[in-house]
Structure 1
């Protein structure tokens, strides 16, 4: 039989270890070449029943007279032992939409009040963060922050006791160069931030806009 991706399928999955937040398992699957193999991976346990996603990432754009700025965060991440440059993000609650989750998490983590951008750019298709290792996925939600709104003049985050987050902004046009600079200073760049920055540079390079 000729190899075909339509042959690929999971035969069974056996847990190897489990915690409150996830399971490490061995999957037995049939590959494109119709051969049986095994694969070890992680599975989140926090996704609410009936939800298609684990959470959201938030591209929050502050609308300023000098030009649009993206809201970023610095947060220490123990798995890589580095401070990571990230967009605001969070896990979705039961029966919560991606839009509602994004507005809630933005307010909690940064203090800013925003509105989801209308049209196709508002919410992206479901994205898988690292499908070779984990089933974690999300929607990226694009949010406009009106800086003329009095509530956004002195934003006050509502962080949980174990959350320590520093917020800062970068002109959107300078995001790629800023990622380079921050990396040179020892920060880790989250893939969502880096991919957005790269996309802006690709658009510049090939004059897509």
Structure 2
């Protein structure tokens, strides 16, 4: 694994208090009234993002960036980033919100460059995926990006992090992704579900020789 930036390992939550909807910038809580399959009226508490672009059907993108031309096989780009909601450093894929007027593919290339410094080419984009539909309406598309490590642009990486972003970038052989997730979880890191699902899928494919 190779690190390119430094994570805020000393970050921690200092306090927690209720947040009124009128004070929230990024999210809001809503109460939905609905009919269940039996025709009974029920209610459901959920969260919604305030930031989805008006002409977009997604909030953001997750990026499966694969480093090509590696001596030991393809490697996937991962990140360590402190997340206050769970007060842990999380192992994640590069990701970000879609800007107004952007396609998922454009957002993925931009976010990958900003967060990691890598310049990549889009290979495939998934259908819309819902992160946690029992809790919130947040969704995304996963964008698969190929990173050609023979290109000069991918030799001297220059991430363009915002003032409040503290991201440590590293990469792992795809063949070792599951084992690395297990190891990192044992070390106290939280594993983002998108990475865990990808790693589990690779292991299932190995087992059943798909």
TM-score (norm 2): 0.89
Task: Extract structure 1 runs of 4+ deviating beyond 4 A.
Answer: none
Aligned residue in 2 for 1:175: 177
Q: Which has the larger radius of gyration?
A: 1
Q: Residues 24-35 of structure 1: matches in 2 within 5 Å?
A: 24-35=29-40
Match of 2:95 in 1: 89
SS in 2 for 1:186: coil
Aligned to 1:196: 198
What's the RMSD between the two structures over aligned residues?
A: 0.8
Structure 1 unaligned spans of 5+ = 1-15
Give 1:23 deviation, angstroms.
1.2
- Mapped contact 1:56–1:90 kept (Cα < 8 A): yes
**Which consecutive residues of structure 2, in runs of 5 or more, have no partner in the other structure?**
1-19
Output the CA distance in 1 between the equivalents of 2:169 and 2:53. Answer: 28
Pick from 111, 116, 126: which aligns with 2:122? Answer: 116
Residues in 2 aligned to 1:194 and 1:106: alpha-carbon distance in whole angstroms = 20
Instruction: Please give the secondary structure, in 2, of the residue aligned with 1:106.
Output: helix
How far 1:47 moved relative to its partner? 0.2
Q: Show the counterpart of 1:127.
A: 129
Give 1:65 shift: 2.8
In the alignment, the residues of structure 2 paired with residue 155 and residue 49 of structure 1 have an alpha-carbon distance, to the nearest angstrom, of: 33
Measure, in 2, the Cα distance between the counterparts of 1:88 and 1:77.
Answer: 14
After superposition, what is the alpha-carbon deviation per residue over 1:67-94, rounded to whole angstroms, capped at 9, x for unaligned?
Answer: 1000000000000010000000000001
User: Higher relative contact order by CA 8 Å / sep ≥ 6: 1 or 2?
Assistant: 2
Distance 2:204 2:115 in 1: 30
Give the 5 Å matches for 1:34-73.
34-63=39-68, 64-73=70-79
Partner of 1:23: 28
Deviation per CA, 1:113-142: give whole Å up to 9, x if none: 00001xxxx000000000000000000000
What is the alpha-carbon distance in structure 2 between the residues aligned to residue 66 and residue 154 of structure 1? 21
Q: 1:101 aligns with which of 104, 107, 126?
A: 107
TM-score by length of 1: 0.89
Contact 1:17-1:25 within 8 A present in 2 as well: no
Q: How many residues align?
A: 189
1:151 aligns with 2:153: yes
